[in-house]
Structures are given as structure tokens and as C-alpha cells.
Amino acid sequence: MENTAYVLACGQTGPNCAGQSLIVDPMGHVAASAGEAPGVASAVIDAERVEAVRAKNPSLANRRFRVVFD
């Protein structure tokens, strides 16, 4: 959530795996999930959603572009 970006994660299915591929939006809500069975998860990636979340959670303003070591 600190990066306020969509996350797409894939999980392998099969007898020794859990699956659970999913797409999470910038606020942490699951936009789509494939569950345990083999399949495909799809969702609309919305740039306006990213902008709205970044307005509510301005964590990117805390970035440091220069690190000073003393």
C-alpha cells in the first residue's frame, strides 16, 4: 500500500501448491482472484483509481531521492 500501485501476483496450482493468483488495487482491495483451481484472474487497471488513492494516501511524498551518510 505504501507504493499505491496495483499488485498482480500469481500462485502455482497443483497437488502441492495453493494457487490464489490475485490482483490487488492500490488501496489493498482484491480486484480479482483465481482461487485454488487453475484459471485466469482479470481486472481493469484504472489510472484514476491510482490518482484517487494517492490523494488519500500521499505516502510517496515521503520518498528520499538522496541519502546522506555521515
Distances (CA, A) of 45 to 50, 55, 60: 9, 17, 19
Check pLDDT > 90 for residue 7.
yes
| Residue 26 maps to a domain | yes
At residue 13, φ and ψ (nearest 5 deg) are: -100, 165
Domain that holds residue 40: 7-61
Arithmetic mean of pLDDT, 2-26: 88
| Residue 24 maps to a domain | yes
| Residue 47 maps to a domain | yes
| Residue 70 maps to a domain | no
Here the cell at position 48 is 484514476
User: How many domains would you assign to the chain?
Assistant: 1
The model's pTM is 0.73
| Residue 52 maps to a domain | yes
| Residue 28 maps to a domain | yes
| Residue 67 maps to a domain | no
Here the cell at position 23 is 490482483
pLDDT-derived band at 40 (thresholds 50, 70, 90) equals confident
Here the cell at position 58 is 500521499
pLDDT-derived band at 18 (thresholds 50, 70, 90) equals confident
Check pLDDT > 80 for residue 1.
no
- At residue 48, the pLDDT reads 95
